[in-house]
Chain A
Amino acid sequence: DTGVSQDPRHKITKRGQNVTFRCDPISEHNRLYWYRQTLGQGPEFLTYFQNEAQLEKSRLLSDRFSAERPKGSFSTLEIQRTEQGDSAMYLCASSKRGGTSGLYNEQFFGPGTRLTVL
């Protein structure tokens, strides 16, 4: 297994169009996270799944955004009616419960999908 993968790596779209991104986590990881990163900033949390259940959504995730993780494997993030402010790097990460603490420890990130909205 080579880590978290994301597709596409780059997406250019026109304002108003819908886009969908895919993330494949590390195979034994049952938690999957989405973050958004704009230029010069650190990543900001959007949402996360434990298996197929979406457990938390940030207020950054407007009603134009929807994420799914059918069957608890890969996840998709869809943005409807894109706006120029949606231009950013969308990062996916995964983790698993580990050690005696039972906490979800280290998060491993994919290469990201860079979205440009014209």
Chain B
Amino acid sequence: KQEVTQIPAALSVPEGENLVLNCSFTDSAIYNLQWFRQDPGKGLTSLLLIQSSQREQTSGRLNASLDKSSGRSTLYIAASQPGDSATYLCAVSPGSEKLVFGKGTKLTVNP
């Protein structure tokens, strides 16, 4: 059974700092990995999708990497801003169907 773990559960940083969020998964046989952002009481916003054959994806200040063999992914956020405050969720797709999610990392960026 695929399990996804996100560390840390919560993170508080000053504005402008670069930061890394971690995601690990137990079964390396995945089709893709997706990072999401969730604001309190809201739905999920897709940030980045990494296919199993890819090593990383970039969008603006965000960079996500994938190491299938070690079962790890990282989300790097450059020059953090207060508007980046949210919960960040990592999800893997064991097949091309459902997503299996971690519990998320709650990020607070202080002005």
Contact = CB atoms under 8 A, between A and B. Distances in A.
A113 to B, nearest CB: 10
B107 to A, nearest CB: 15
Contact of B97 (A40, A42, A48): A48
A51 B3 CA distance: 28
A105 B43 contact: no
Contact of A106 (B49, B89, B100, B102): B49
B78 interface: no
Nearest to A113: B43
A104 B49 CA distance: 12
The SS class assigned to the B binding surface is strand
Interface in B1-59: 4, 31-32, 34, 36, 41-46, 49, 51
Interface in B75-111: 89, 91, 96-104
A91 B89 CA distance: 14
- Nearest first, the 9 A-B pairs at minimum CB distance are A42-B101, A45-B98, A109-B44, A103-B96, A111-B43, A106-B49, A104-B96, A109-B43, A112-B43
Interface of B: 4, 31-32, 34, 36, 41-46, 49, 51, 89, 91, 96-104
